[in-house]
Amino acid sequence: MNTEIIGRYIDVDGHRLFMDTAGDPSGRPMICLHTAGKHALQWRFVLPYFAERGYFVVAPDLPGHGKSLLKDYVPIDSIHVYAELVWKLCGQIGLKRPVIMGCSIGGDIALDIAAHHSADIHAAIPCEAAARTPTYPLAALERGLEDSGVPSFADQSYIGGIAASGTRALPERVAEIAWTRRLGDPRVHYNDLKGWIGHDVRHLLAGIACPVAVVWGNEDYYLPYELIKETVDGIPNATLIEMQGIGHYPHIETPEFNALVERFLASIA
């Protein structure tokens, strides 16, 4: 099985999008969605693992992130807008009944897709995400929307990456999280966070028909357990995968993540 990660481009709704892909295109499709302001590189430990197990894995850079261009250069500040764009991408590249996985805002996007298209997806795996995520301080967010309000953005992001990783995260993975957080445009990052705090799909949870696994690191200080519990309790067929000593980046912090997700997918096969 070829597990090499291969990049390609596609135009969706006027955005020129980059995506990493791995695996046989005839395999079961899986979409992986990155965190605020970041890019598909975050999934480099996940793509080969699932490609080797028969999945066709696609990790796009959302518009304005990584190597994806943004239509009209106006950053997107809505989780639902991202979700519908990702859903359109799935259609354009012919992904039938995909597994939708994402972390942080990517997890919120996965939940939004599940909330609106659950009959047409195999499963959703939101990581460090919830039905609502009003957890970022508004004053910091407003400052971040202006470049002059966030001096030393790269340093701030770097330190935030170290702080948001759990105590059981592998040190070399924490170093990678911190380094990759240095990259990107703060305006895009903070518009993503605007989407994060505005996201709320609680009224749609009861209608989610597909299996959902919510992955939560118990050291993620961006997401209190109460919001996770509210989400899991609200979805008819939901499972909580709790990871002790893990923070906001479970898919990068530890290789254990892949096996836990694989076990969930095997349980619903």
Partner 1 sequence: MLDIEQLAARLNEHPDFMSSGKYFDGAIQLEIGNDRIWIKVFMGRVILATRQPPPFGYTFCIKGPLEHWRFAMAGKKNRLHEAVVTGRLKVEGNTIEYARISRAVYGLSEVMHAMAQADGQALGDLT
Q: From the CB of 157, what's the least distance to partner 1, in Å?
A: 9
Shorter beta-carbon distance to partner 1: residue 48 or 161: 161
Q: Identify which range of 5-13, 33-41, 155-163, 180-188 contacts partner 1 by CB under 8 A.
A: 155-163
DSSP state of 56: E
Q: How far is the CB of 49 from partner 1 (least distance, A)?
A: 28
Whether 34 and 102 have beta carbons less than 8 Å apart is answered as yes
Q: Which residue has the tokens 């994806």?
A: 68
Out of 4, 24, 147, 155, name the contact with partner 1 by CB under 8 A.
155
Interface characters, 207-246, with partner 1 (x: CB under 8 A) = --------------x-------------------------
Question: Which among 138, 56, 132 is positioned nearest to 97, based on CA atoms?
Answer: 56
Toward partner 1, which CB reaches closer, 224 or 236? Answer: 224
Q: Which of 160, 170, 185, 239 binds partner 1 (CB under 8 A)?
A: 160
Residues 46-105 that bind partner 1 (CB under 8 A): none
The answer to whether the CB of 154 falls within 8 A of the CB of 133 is no
Q: Which of residues 105-144 bind partner 1 (CB under 8 A)?
A: 137
Identity (one letter) of the amino acid at 169?
A
Q: What one-character DSSP code corresponds to residue 200?
A: B
Check if the beta carbon of residue 38 is closer than 8 Å to that of residue 92.
Answer: no
Per-residue binder mask for partner 1 (CB under 8 A), 6-25, x = binder: --------------------
Q: How far is CA 84 from CA 89, 105, 114, 167, 213, in A?
A: 9, 14, 11, 35, 21
- Partnered with residue 207 across adjacent β-strands are none
Q: Which of 72, 73, 167, 269 binds partner 1 (CB under 8 A)?
A: 167
CA 154 – CA 151 distance, rounded (Å):
8
**Which one of 26, 73, 94, 152 is in contact with partner 1 (CB under 8 A)?**
152
* Binding of partner 1 by 26 (CB under 8 A): no
Q: Looking at 27, 44, 67, 149, which residue binds partner 1 (CB under 8 A)? A: 149
List 163, 202, 206, 267, residue binding partner 1 (CB under 8 A)? 163
What ranges make up the beta strands (E) of the chain? 6-12, 15-22, 28-33, 55-60, 99-103, 123-127, 212-217, 238-243
Decide: is 1 part of the binding site for partner 1 (CB under 8 A).
no
Please provide the distance, in angstroms rounded to a whole number, between the alpha carbons at the two ends of the chain: 21
Q: Which is nearer to partner 1, 119 or 159 (CB)?
A: 159
Neighbours of 218 (CB within 10 A): 15
Chain residues that interact with partner 1, rule: CB under 8 A: 137, 149-152, 155-156, 158-160, 162-164, 167, 221
